[in-house]
Structure 1
Amino acid sequence: MYFTLRWMLFCLLWGGMALLSLSNRDPWSFSTTTWLPGGLLLAVLMMSRLSLWPVWLVTTLLLHTLCGLYSGRPLILAALFALFDAFTLPLCALALRYITRCERSGGVREPLLALTSLIAIVFGSGLLLMLCLKVLGDDISLFHLVSWSLALLTSILAFWPLTDALNREGKALVAGGRRNILATVGMLMLLLMLFLPSWRHLSPMLYGFNPIWLIFTGVLLLALVLEPRVLGAVLLLQYLLVIGTTLYERGLFVGGDERPLSAIWNAQWYLLFCSWLGFTTNRFARHTRRLKNQLQQRARIDNALAPAAATALFRLYLTDRRLIWQTPPDAFFGDEYSVTTLSLLEARSVSPFDADLELWIAGGREEPFRTRIALLLDGAIVRCRMVLLGGDSRDEILGGLAVEVAHPRGGE
C-alpha cells in the first residue's frame, strides 16, 4: 500500500513536471529547453533498491511517451526521447552510487568525479540521440545537443545534493540548531530577489549591480555552515523558483531585449554552477571539520592507549562492520593484513567481545568503549587494550589497539 501511494505520487509529480517542460520548446524542434522531471527520476533511483528500478523506468517510459504525444510530438519521436531518458538517468545513478561507495572520505574529489562522469554520460547520450534523429531525417544541429544536455544536467545537479544528503544522513529533514535556522531564513530572503522584474530596471544608483551575483555569493557562503539536507533543499527550491519564473518570463534572468531561449539558457548555466559549487563547498567545509575532529579523536585515542608497547589505529564502518587500519597492525597480526572485519578480529581473540560492543553501539556511544582482549599471534597470546570513540558520524567509529604484555602460550 505504501509503495502504491509513492508510485501514484511519483506519477503525478513526474507528469506535471513533464507537461510544464514540454509546454516550453526551443524554436527549432520538438525538444524542450528545460527538463524538470529528469532530476526527480534520478532521486528516486538513487533512493530505491535496484530491484525496483524496472518499475520506475517502465513508468517513466510510458509517462514520457504519453506526455510527448499529448504535447504534439510524433509517436516515434516521443518514444525516442523517452528511451533517451530511460537510458541516460540509470547510467547517471549507477555512476553516482559507485563514486559515493568508493569515495568514503567525503572530500572534494567526489564532487569533481561526479561532475565529470555526469557530463560525459549526459553529453554522450545526447550525441547518440542526435545520431538517431539524423537517421530519422530530422534537421538536427549542435544547438539541440546543448539544449537537451544542459536541461538534463541542470535538473540532475539540482536534485542530487538533497538526494545524497538523505542517503547519507537519513530522511528526517528537520535541521537542528539556531545557526541552520538563521542561515536558512537568510537564504530564503535572498531567493525572494528572484521575483524582481529585472535587475536592469532598478534605480540608476544601482547600475552595474546584479542581484544574481548576490544570490550566488549567499549560496556559497551559507554552504559553509548549512547542514547538507538543508542546503540540498535550498538548492532544489532555488532551481524550481528560477526555472518557474524564467519560463513565465519573470525574474532576474528575463531582460527586455532577450529572447526566451537566451533567458532559460542563462538561468540554467547559473543553476548548474551554483548547485555544483554550493554542494562542493559544503562538502569541503564538512570534510575540513571532519579532519579536525579526527585529529582530536586520535589524540584522545593515543591518550587512552598510553602507555603501550605498540599501538594500531583503525576505523570501523558500522554498515558492514569493515575495518580500515589507519596504522600498520603488524605488532598484532604479524605480516598479515587479512583482519579486515570486526568478525575476523573477534576470531583472533581468545574471548569474544562483540556482545558488549553491540550494547555500546545501541546505547548511544556517548562514552568511549574500553575492553581488554587477548589476541593469538604465532603461538603466543598478545594481551591488548581496545578503545573506541563514538564521534559524530552515524556510520564510522575510530578505535585503537594497544599491546600490554605478551606471554608464551605455555606460560599460562
Structure 2
Amino acid sequence: MTDPAALVDLTIESLGAQGDGIARHDGKGVFVAYALPGERVRARLSPKGGNAFTGRMQEIVTASPERVVPPCPLFARCGGCGLQHYSLPAYRAWKQQQVATTLGQRGIDLPAGTGMVTVEAGNRRRAVFAARKERGEIAFGFHAAMSDEIVPLDDCLLLTPGLSAGLGGLRQLAGVALAEKQAADIHVTDSLAGLDVLVTTDGDLPMGRRQAVIAAANAAGLARLSWQHGRRQPEPIVMARVPQMRFGDILVDLPIGSFLQPSAEGEAALVAAVTTYVGKARRIADLYAGCGTFSFPLAKIGRVLAVDAAKPAIAALAAAVNRAQLSGRVEGMARDLEQSPLPPPDLKPFEAVVFDPPRAGAEMQARMLAKSRVGKVVAVSCNPASFARDARILLDAGFALEKLAIVNQFVWSAHVELVALLRRR
C-alpha cells in the first residue's frame, strides 16, 4: 500500500474533464492539478475516494513542450483559472477533444466541419467575488481552488476594463458593508450603465451601516447596488442608473441577479450560430429564454415565444417588447420548464425550437420534443454531458445532428459552450 506521506514519480497520461493531469499508481488513477500530458512529475498522494488518489505536485521532473509561463502571478493560488500553463493551441485542441469524447460516450459523432470560437481574455463582463471581514480587515477576491480561502486580487486578466477598474471600489464597499466575521458573495455585472452589484450574505443590511454603504456605492460609481439575505427577495439599496443590456437591437432593463452570458463576444458567437441554424423558420419557441438573449435577434426572422421560469426576466422582456413596439413579434411566458415542459400540442405551431437550459440540461423538454412534430431543434448548452444526454433522446426519436459549434468563452478553464442543430429526418 502506498504511504500517503511518500513522494512518488508519475507519468501524466491525459487531462481529465476538469483539466487535472491523470496518471496511474498502484493500479489506481491519480489526479494532479496543473500537470500536463506527457510530463513526469513528483507528487505527494492523498486518498481521493473510490479507486483514486489526489496528487499534490512537488516537482516537474520532465516538462511538456506545451507548458508555458502562466500570464497571471496568482495562477495556482486563485481558483479562477486552471489551465493558464497550457499553450493556447494545445488547450483549444484539448477542449474540442473533450467535447468529442463526451458526445462519443453517448454514441454521437461530431458533425463534419465542427469548429470552435475562442473569446480572448479581458472580456468577462460578470463575476462573483468573495469577501469576508476578520479582525477589522477585509479579504476580497476569488476563492482558492477547492477552498474557502480568499485570494486577494487587485486586477484580473479575465475581466472587462470596466469591471477590473471597479475592484478597488468594490473592496471598499465590502469593508463598510460587512460586520465582523461576516462573509458575502458579491455578484457584479458590467452593464451598459456601469457596474450592477448584488451582495448576497447571511443577514440584512442594518440601518446603522446603510448610509455608509450608500456613500461607498456612490463613490464607486455603481449603477445599482442590491442586497440579498439568504433566499429572500433582493432589496435595491442604490439605483443611480438602470442597468441595461442590448440583445439584438433591443435595450433590456436587467432584473437584479439576472442571468447573462459571461462575455459580449461569446454571446455574439452563440447568437450567430443560433440565428443561422434557425434559418427561415416563421414560428420559433425560445425556451429558457432569460431576458431575451436569443429572442430579440430571432424576432428579425420570425415570431417568437420566449419561455422562462424566472418571472422577473420575463417581465423585463415584456417591458422591452412594449417599448420597442414588438408585441406582434415577441411574446413572453413565465413557465417552469423543469416541472412543466411544453407538451407536443403546445409545440405544434413551431417550426423551430431553441433551448438554452442550465447545466443540468433539458431532459424532460427533450422528451416532449421527441414526441412532437417539431422539425428543427437548436440546442445551446454549457455542459456537454447533459447536452449529449438530451441530444441522444432526440436522435433516438429520428433527429439527426447536422451541425455543431463550440464556443470557448470561459478562458483558461475547462468549461465550454455548444450550439447544435438537430433536424428531424
User: TM-score when scaled to structure 2?
Assistant: 0.22
- Which of these two proteins has the greater Rg computed from alpha carbons? 1
User: TM-score when scaled to structure 1?
Assistant: 0.23
